[in-house]
Structure 1
Amino acid sequence: MKPLRLLRALAGAACVAYAWPAVGACGQPAPAAAVAARIDGAPLLAFSVESSWCMARAADPDAQRSATLALLIANRLLAGEARKRFGEAALWAGQRVGFAREVSIDDQLVNTLRSLYGTEMEGDLRQLSGVGLDSLLRPTPPLSDTELDAVFGKPGALRLDLSLGEAQLAQASKLVLLRFAKPGGGEGSVSLADVARRQNVQGRVALFARERDFMQRQARLQVASWYVLDWSVRRFGAASVADLRRVLADQGDVQAMMRLHGLGDDQHAGSRLLDTLAAQVGPQQVRAYYARQREDFVRIERVRARHIRLPDEVAARRVAAALAGGADFAALARRHSIAPDAGGGGSLGWVYHESQAGSKPGWLAQLLFTQAPGQVSAPVRSPAGPGRHAPWEIVLVEERVQGYQAADSEAVRYVASRALAREMAAAQLTALRAGLLRKARIEITRAGMAGEGPA
């Protein structure tokens, strides 16, 4: 690929990363430590580009290598800016509840390498042991209650914080959960501290609850992860594995920055920046957005409906069965409904989304607005406090008229201001990416252009 074409791809590179599913064996990786690009003098290795491209093709067979390279370069620049602007504490604010940043990146690295090269790894392990990973494990005596007490304290105590202090971790590091033989010779081990450092809040709960089976499973997972990384370093070199880990770290930091902007994989999560931008949206912008997106504000204006009110669930189920058998709704309302409108066949007439006085619909009206025309509802118990008698309702919407939310309503203002704020946040990120790419010194090597046809 010629540099001009690559620069065009860079200019349009999205500042997101691929969702990577498991794939089978990939193509031949690049030579160890071969450089695909230099970004302000720092190398991006071809191994990372090839691995990322292979994973991208699992999601989209038409994914282009040039687009993958452009994405990795853009992410490298954006991740550095994200750490500079926000700091890791703000980017990864949820790590006291979730997994720590380093743990998440390590897990992604192991999963990526296993997805790409797992078949080859397993083949090498079978040649070595004839069995598999279990053959590497060595008998290890279980930890005693006294040893666990030294780390977690006595069981049953009320705890507000399930994290371990330095003294507890130092003690836990002396307690071996699992020993294993290294394929190249020697012995390794997984300590209780190794397991504790890699847990989210649910995992810490299990550790403090002394769930020994959980500890052993986590230790075995760490042995498996160790083997994946050890095999990959021996196969591709430590520099290649470290560079791929940095690519994944870049991806995580960019996604975290997008979340701070109210974008990305969870647009319903809170965003202070989005709140600030939404507060800057004025009435004229809201009106313009409403004019462009009016169909997004369709609502049910009114419905013409009937209902049957029954004294209890038994009666409601009996009438519902008759309706399911084809009985006439109005006739059953006259015969069984305990509502004042029973004589009129349970007719409610037209029910409006808002009354002329501006009051909001009651619970029965809200039930009507959820029903499709011509379909009898299931029996629904009306709201009532504990221990109070509550009748049951069956409703039928005969006709529904749709309209639009008022342009000056609070609902329109909220939706429009949030949507416009997201547009502004996305524009800020796009401008930031373009500015970083303009200022950066990007050199594409021969290894970076490998695998592309003529421009």
Structure 2
Amino acid sequence: MSLAAESAPLAGRRQRRPVDSPRALLGGLLLGLTLAAALPASAEVNYAVRDAALAARVNGAPLHAFALDTAWRLARAKQPQVSRTAVLETLIGERLLAAAARKSYGEAALYSGQRVGFAQDVALDDQLAGSLRGLYGKELEQVLLRLPGGSLNGVVTERPALDGAALDAVFGKPGQLRLELALGEQQQTRAKAIVVLRYALPNGGKGALSLYDIYRRQNVQGRAQLFARQADFVQQQAMQSLAALFVLDWARGRFGAAAVDDLRGVFADQEAVLALQRLHGIGIDTDSGSPLLEQLARQVGAAEVQAYYKQHQEEFVRIERVKARHIRLPDEASAQAVYGELRAGGDFAALARRHSRAADARNGGELGWIKHEGKPDWLAQLAFAQDKGEVSRPVRAPVGPHDPAYWEIVLVEQRVNGVQAADSEAVRYVASNAVAREKALAQLAALRAHVLREARIELNRRVLDQALQLLEKAS
């Protein structure tokens, strides 16, 4: 059995982050290429690195050639023509910006809002192990075949039975109502004392995986499985954790611990840059918040709101009133029949007089002018949602459970547009958030410029496959 198969989640169980997907692995790196392109070429750059194990030093800290090579191979899966030099420049830009992000904002602010996901270190370990497994799978399979039994089970030295009373002390009694799937301090201590399996890795590393180790590697769905006492899930997760440890143990023996840890740092840098961009409004939708955007929006003044309003009035166009007709029908079958006649060219007013159950049927279903004010009823909202001259599909009225159902068909004959009032709450909300995003992007651009301007970058000329494009060349 392959390492990937032994560590794969069971069908119907928790879905872990897809670390083996090239798209998932490369999202941060390829986004980083765009990031690096925005950096001004003003860093202090030289070619002082002679150590073949290093690709560069960034402010004195090493960037290993192994990390660059792995990142480049991953990037080529998405962009086959990408150069090693372009990837190196990206990694340098991300390392600088990630360091500044951690210093300026801290981990808590960068990763706020990720409550249902995996812990950051767990996600990075999975990404690291998944990337190595994807690139060096054949070598790993050969190592696996040399284990006792030719499988990952060959490194397992003990699987203690899980005691029910001990599990009760950690998770509580089965069926107990819980407001949160989380362990308190005492429960965590008990979970750390429960060994799920013990192992001995090929390079001599021995250890044990506790129930707490399994617990902290879960997202909300995984914790639900643990609290439900799914014993097969616990064992499957233990083997998945062991598979990651096996891959990292092999990689550190093959490439060196410092090089593998640096590759993990590359992934951590990518995540920090993505988090920094989200914090500044990049990659989130209009309604998604970030603490930084919310703070900046609160600081936007009335003059800024009015200036934005004058420059972007097209964003504040609204329907002021519509002139419409409707046909009310008692059931869906008759509504669909009338709708079919309308689609075939039937006269709306004539069909309303013939079929509508509303009091205005004699007037051809005329609703007159409907103004957009206050809180429109559902029929008015339906009219405002229709394009002029197009017959709506039959829509079931949102009646109560004991009220008779009916269907409405609407036709908007005229529409009058206007703009929202300059002093309205809607204008203030939209404008202040838009101005906040503009300020956030300006802050991010300034941070990008600053970190590169202050950087000291030493390169190993031998790792470059083309001339530098983004970083300043040494004179």
User: What TM-score do the two structures reach when normalised by structure 1?
Assistant: 0.79
Q: Does 1:451 align with 2:451?
A: no
Q: In the superposition, relative to structure 1, how do residues 152 and 410 fare at CA in structure 2: closer, same or farther (>3 Å)? A: closer
Q: Does 1:12 align with 2:38?
A: yes
The CA distance in 2 between the partners of 1:32 and 1:402, in whole Å, is 68
The CA distance in 2 between the partners of 1:195 and 1:33, in whole Å, is 39
Q: CA deviation at 1:243?
A: 0.4
- 1:436 is aligned with what amino acid? V
Q: In the superposition, relative to structure 1, how do residues 329 and 228 fare at CA in structure 2: closer, same or farther (>3 Å)? A: farther
- 1:309 is aligned with what amino acid? R
- Structure 2 counterpart of 1:377: 392
- Structure 2 counterpart of 1:274: 293
Q: In the superposition, relative to structure 1, how do residues 161 and 402 fare at CA in structure 2: closer, same or farther (>3 Å)? A: closer
- Structure 2 counterpart of 1:28: none
Q: Does 1:394 align with 2:394?
A: no
Q: Where in structure 2 are the equivalents of 1:286-325 lying within 5 Å?
A: 286-313=305-332, 315-320=334-339, 322-323=341-342
- Structure 1 counterpart of 2:443: 428
Q: In the superposition, relative to structure 1, how do residues 349 and 126 fare at CA in structure 2: closer, same or farther (>3 Å)? A: farther
2:203–2:250 Cα contact (<8 Å) kept: no
- Structure 1 counterpart of 2:60: 41
Q: Does 1:207 align with 2:221?
A: no
Q: Does 1:244 align with 2:279?
A: no
Q: CA deviation at 1:266?
A: 5.5
User: What TM-score do the two structures reach when normalised by structure 2?
Assistant: 0.76
Q: Does 1:334 align with 2:353?
A: yes
The CA distance in 1 between the partners of 2:346 and 2:149, in whole Å, is 71
Q: Where in structure 2 are the equivalents of 1:345-384 lying within 5 Å?
A: 345-352=364-371, 354=372, 358-359=373-374, 361-384=376-399
Q: In the superposition, relative to structure 1, how do residues 62 and 291 fare at CA in structure 2: closer, same or farther (>3 Å)? A: farther
User: Greater relative contact order (Cα 8 A, min sep 6): structure 1 or 2?
Assistant: 2
Residue deviations 1:226-279 (CA, integer Å, cap 9, x gap): 222123223322111100111222222333333333444465333332223223
Q: Where in structure 2 are the equivalents of 1:185-196 lying within 5 Å?
A: 189-196=208-215
Residue deviations 1:391-436 (CA, integer Å, cap 9, x gap): 4311123455655444554323322221121111111121122122
1:13–1:71 Cα contact (<8 Å) kept: no
- Structure 2 counterpart of 1:441: 456
1:413 to 428, 431, 449: 428
1:99 to 118, 134, 138: 118
In structure 2, list runs of 5 or more residues that go unmatched: 1-34, 41-49, 470-475
- Structure 2 counterpart of 1:3: none
Residue deviations 1:343-369 (CA, integer Å, cap 9, x gap): 2322334544x3xxx545432121122
Q: In the superposition, relative to structure 1, how do residues 139 and 38 fare at CA in structure 2: closer, same or farther (>3 Å)? A: closer
Q: What SS is found at the alignment partner of 1:452? A: coil
2:309–2:427 Cα contact (<8 Å) kept: yes
The CA distance in 1 between the partners of 2:220 and 2:333, in whole Å, is 46
- Structure 1 counterpart of 2:5: none
2:54–2:65 Cα contact (<8 Å) kept: yes
Q: CA deviation at 1:208?
A: 1.6
The CA distance in 1 between the partners of 2:275 and 2:159, in whole Å, is 40
- 1:280 is aligned with what amino acid? Q
Q: CA deviation at 1:119?
A: 4.6
Q: What SS is found at the alignment partner of 1:114? A: helix
Query: Which has the higher mean CA deviation after the structures are superposed, 157-166 or 365-374?
Result: 157-166
- 1:102 is aligned with what amino acid? D
2:203–2:249 Cα contact (<8 Å) kept: no
Overall identity of the aligned pairs, in %: 57
In structure 1, list runs of 5 or more residues that go unmatched: 1-8, 15-30
- Structure 2 counterpart of 1:259: 278
Q: What SS is found at the alignment partner of 2:196? A: strand
